[in-house]
Structure 1
Amino acid sequence: MQISRKRLVSILLHVLFTTLIVMVPVFLMPLKEQKDPSSKNFYNIPTIIMTAMATIACYTSAYWLYPRFLLRKKLFSYLGITLTICAFTAVISGVTTNLFSDIPTPFIWAHIVTKFFIVLFVMGTGTAYRFVMEVMKQESKQKESMTMELSFLRSQVSPHFMFNTLNSMVALARKKSDKLEPALIELSNLMHYMLYESDEEKVNLSKEIDYIQSYIDLQTLRFGHNVKILFTVNKPLPSDPCIEPMLLIPLIENAFKHGIGLIEEPEIDIRLCVEREGLLLLVQNKYNDKTIEIRDKTSGIGLVNLERRLKLLYPHKHSLYLSKNGAYFKASLKLNLHDQVSGC
């Protein structure tokens, strides 16, 4: 049976802590004890008792005091119990040392004080261990939660996108247009990307651009010369950065959905610029503010989905602006791809 990575790390940490506790008497033993000919064996009975009690104190701090008191913000109770355990362990160590050796009484008191701070250090180590484990656990939960949410958001994008794309097919079919066959070919290209590329965590930007081009070609076949469509890409850099799949298409799809209809001389202008500072997508389309649209249940999913994915994937590394200027609706998306590298 294979041991998971997390389990292996946990086991190694336990071994490390136990080894640390066992070695404490060797490195922190008073100099006099090290010079004493009767103390050539570091692990005599008092030392074994001390080591066992320190180990118990360490795990008591990690698995009882921390969750029961520190997590509940009972700081004074935690400190009181911790100091009591340290004092009790140090006294027991002093008593056993006095029983099994001929150390003078003044040195016994010095021994007790030393053991008190040793146990305090060991318990602090146990608390620190548990704190680190809790932080890692919370980060793991957050990452798992984000992964699940991103998976759900991606599952929303594809059906929503296909719903709008199939409407284009229906329109061509009703017209019995000769463009239906090439449109279906473009649709197959889109579906190939959605099935085999969109499941990847990241894709090369060039693939995303090809996907956008296929979508625009499909819309061009549907509307022909009735809609002025411009798509320009400025990509001077030789590198091919990575990006979340299907992240740019919602803004473009939104322009076609709301920029065509009861609009005189509809225009859609799409500009994509990739520079060292990042990626900039500008989408502009005409709109009719007076037109009352009958919205379906999926209306608005694309932009809401996009905003949520941007917050999860590019926190503090993106800006999305939507504005209306006269007869035009403008969308601007800027991504900081400075940390991205080619070859996803």
Structure 2
Amino acid sequence: MEYNTQEVRNSWIIRFIIDSDYRILRHFVLLSGILAVIAFSREITEYPSPYNYYRLACIYGSIIAMSYINMYFLVPQFFFKGRYLLYILLLLALVIAWMMIIGILLGAYNPEYIVIRHKHDNHLRGYYEGTIILMPIILVTTMIKLFQRWTIDTERINELNNITLTMELNELRNQINPHFLFNMLNGIKALVRTDVDKATTVILQLSEFLRYQLYENNEVKIPLKSEIDFLSNFLELEKIRRDNLSVTLSCSIDPSVINNMLLPPSLFTIFVENAVKHSINISGAQSDITIRIETEGTMLCFYCYNSIDPDYIPSVDKKKGGLGLLNIKRRLDLLYGKAHTLTLAHTKSAYNVTLKIPYELYSIR
């Protein structure tokens, strides 16, 4: 029970630090904490009233300004981008500049007591001591932002791993299942009797299909060519199972570039599976599936179209129906965030998918 209580308490602290729901309260605690530290320090208490209140306002306001400039400009623009030396230099310059501003503000208030005291002050030593005191205070806000970033990234990675594992298990259940394999083997058996060459081709396609599912699908990133080959083999195998299925898969990217493009595996699979599933025409008319892959600047574009028979209502597993699409949407969010776009357009006679993601190139030496 003590362990569970401690775990809940730690979890609440983490939520307090990173959740947007606690943002106002979080800033209030930060502002109050800095005020409490400064208000009871010798830099304030050893001066008489009302000058001590003026001094408190100047020092407190300056520290708050430095903290927020650090948290919302220096840390994201320099520290998080790995420019650590430049970050330290800019932070040091910020502290020195604000100390000069504090000196000007305090110099504007010159009661007799302060004038006499300042004659005995060593300004150079004051800047040095002020820098030593202020730098750790400002760096506390850096630690807070760093902890927030680390916690959010850790949660994203864990959630992505869980979703990836779930998708892999679903793919193993839904794609490499006995029903699919039996249909393929029965089709091959029939082809062996009528068209040996075609049966040989189908066996090779089925082999490539299974190899991708069992090996390449477990990689973090794979070449775009592997993904295209898998989709091609999958669609060719589906054409054997389906009569009057017309499939067009085109890629306008230079072949030499395709081999050097990397992306996470099975990003397009669920869309192609849905296209196959929903393109069935119960009247026996031709069903169409068109897939295009191309680039637009730094984006890899995937387009998938399939015809729809308004009279056909596909069977839906209530336990699993729609999970594939929800999982891929969440996976794309975790992988690319706002850097990707996914558009799903549905009419009575057609379904269109447009996915645009940033692509990565690597060079083979």
What range is the shorter-chain TM-score in?
Answer: 0.5 to 0.7
Structure 2 distance, partners of 1:172, 1:306, is 27
SS of residue matched to 2:248: strand
Q: Specify the alignment match of 2:271 in structure 1.
A: 251
Amino acid at match of 1:203: I
SS of residue matched to 2:214: helix
Give the 5 Å matches for 1:77-226: 78-87=34-43, 109-111=120-122, 118-165=128-175, 166=177, 167-172=179-184, 177-178=189-190, 185-223=204-242, 225-226=243-244
- Conserved? CA contact 1:242–1:342, under 8 Å: yes
Q: Structure 1 residue aligned with 2:338, among 316, 319, 322? A: 316
5+ residue gaps, structure 1, are 1-68, 92-104
* Structure 1 residue 341 displacement after superposition: 1.9
Q: Specify the alignment match of 2:196 in structure 1.
A: none
What are the Cα deviations for residues 199-258 of structure 1, in whole angstroms up to 9, with x where unaligned?
Answer: 3332221221122122122212322x4311111121137432221111111111110111
- Conserved? CA contact 1:236–1:275, under 8 Å: no
Larger radius of gyration: 1
Once structures 1 and 2 are overlaid, which stretch shifts more, 296-305 or 172-181?
A: 172-181
Structure 1 distance, partners of 2:355, 2:240, is 27
- Conserved? CA contact 1:241–1:341, under 8 Å: yes
Change (3 A) 1:116 1:71: farther
Change (3 A) 1:70 1:154: closer
Change (3 A) 1:319 1:88: closer
Give the 5 Å matches for 1:2-21: none
SS of residue matched to 1:198: helix
Matched, 1:283 2:304: yes
- Conserved? CA contact 1:242–1:343, under 8 Å: no
Normalised TM-score (structure 1)? 0.64
Change (3 A) 1:107 1:146: closer
Kindly report the root-mean-square deviation, in angstroms, between the aligned alpha carbons of the 2 structures: 3.4
Change (3 A) 1:74 1:216: closer
SS of residue matched to 2:183: helix
Higher relative contact order, chain-length normalized (CA < 8 Å, sep 6+): 1
Matched, 1:272 2:283: no
Q: Specify the alignment match of 1:234 in structure 2.
A: 252
Change (3 A) 1:106 1:89: closer
Structure 1 distance, partners of 2:234, 2:181, is 12
Change (3 A) 1:305 1:125: same
- Conserved? CA contact 1:278–1:336, under 8 Å: yes
Change (3 A) 1:159 1:219: farther
Structure 2 distance, partners of 1:207, 1:194, is 11
Structure 1 distance, partners of 2:140, 2:37, is 17
Equivalenced residue count is 259
* Structure 1 residue 175 displacement after superposition: 6.7
Identity %: 21
- Conserved? CA contact 2:245–2:287, under 8 Å: yes
Normalised TM-score (structure 2)? 0.60
- Conserved? CA contact 1:241–1:342, under 8 Å: yes
Change (3 A) 1:195 1:177: closer
SS of residue matched to 2:293: strand
What are the Cα deviations for residues 29-75 of structure 1, in whole angstroms up to 9, with x where unaligned?
Answer: xxxxxxxxxxxxxxxxxxxxxxxxxxxxxxxxxxxxxxxx9765252
* Structure 1 residue 83 displacement after superposition: 4.6
- Conserved? CA contact 1:282–1:330, under 8 Å: yes
* Structure 1 residue 90 displacement after superposition: 9.0
Amino acid at match of 1:196: Y
